Amino acid sequence: MGLFDFARDIGKKLFGKEEEAPAALQQHIEEDNPGVNGLQVDVKDGVATLSGEANSAEAMEKAVLMAGNALGIQEVKADNMTIADGSQVAGDDEFYTIEKGDTLWKIAEHAYGDGSKFNKIVEVNREVIKDADKIFPGQKIRIPKNI
């Protein structure tokens, strides 16, 4: 999957010091495990490196988003992750960075021409969006192409 950029100073606070980050991120991802086995997390200078085996490309993408949307993480590398089902990670056009003033309704309206389809966005991002009313600028989410 390569390198994925995030806003380092925005996100969910999961750890205080960087040395706490690997264990905190690993626990965070495993709590809502999107389908990653043997997960290992390393963090250095705001860069989280994930390794393990994802059940699918979608599972890998979710793990990357969960790690990257944490306060203090500016990049996520997943080059050391394998995908069990052989699927490929899609291009960056399936991801969206929430901007000031965005709502999930507005995002769905722009992506699909119908704001009422925002529930699909929430569904595929359930590990990242715990409450549809609590999204924040700088947060990255997946936008499914086919709904």
At 29-66, the pLDDT tens digits run 999 999 999 999 999 999 999 999 999 999 999 999 99
**Residues with Cβ within 8 Å of residue 14, at least 6 apart in sequence:** 21, 24, 25, 28, 70, 71, 72
Q: What residue spans in the chain does CATH classification 3.10.350.10 cover?
A: 92-142
Looking at CATH, the fold of the domain delimited by 92-142 is given as Membrane-bound Lytic Murein Transglycosylase D; Chain A (3.10.350)
Cα–Cα distance for residue pair 101/84, rounded to 1 Å: 38
Q: Which residue has the tokens 């021409």?
A: 113
Q: What is the pLDDT of residue 92?
A: 46
Q: Does residue 46 contact residue 72 with C-beta atoms inside 8 Å?
A: yes
pTM score, two decimals?
0.89
Sign of CA dihedral 86, 92, 98, 104: negative
DSSP 8-state code for residue 113: S
Judging by beta carbons within 10 Å of its beta carbon (0-12, 13-18, 19+), is residue 112 exposed, middle or buried? middle
Q: Which residue has the higher pLDDT, 80 or 107?
A: 107
Cα–Cα distance for residue pair 102/97, rounded to 1 Å: 10
